[in-house]
Amino acid sequence: MTPKQIDRFCASLPAATRIVQWEGVAVFKVGGKMFCLIAPDDHSVGRISFKSAPEHYDALSRSPGFRPAPYLARAKWVSVDDPAALTDAEMKAYIKRAHAVIAAALPKRKQKELGL
């Protein structure tokens, strides 16, 4: 997927919001909590970064095409510098999972408010 396609996909997820922060990084949130970042080519955070399920972080961060996300690895985030390294289905699955992990951690009241 191209960064533009990833941007559209993230925006289509339930209750997702998009803002631009940190020198042009598109930040996607659910309930005010980040789940995916799309950075300009030369940005230090990595091209595409997203939250991983804590139980999958160690394996995923060592997999080909992935690395621990700069500044966010302590929170179990990974980066993909070349989005073409993954199939469209893989990228969508990882981002959907990131969204689900963040949404599930929201207070029940907030989840209900957002229709999650």
How far, in Å, are 48, 72, 79, 114, 115 from residue 37 at the CA level?
Answer: 6, 11, 9, 21, 23
Antiparallel, parallel or unpaired: β 33-38 and 77-80:
unpaired
Q: What is the pLDDT of residue 47?
A: 85
**67, 61 contact by CB (below 8 A):** yes
What distance separates the 2 farthest-apart alpha carbons in the chain?
A: 39
Overall residue count recorded for the chain in this entry: 116
| pLDDT-based confidence at residue 65 (cuts at 50, 70, 90) | confident
pTM exceeding the 0.75 threshold for the entire prediction: yes
Q: What is the pLDDT of residues 79-111, one digit of tens each?
A: 998 888 889 999 999 999 999 999 999 999 999
**Percent of the chain scored above 70 by pLDDT?**
97
The class (CATH top level) of 3-111 is alpha beta
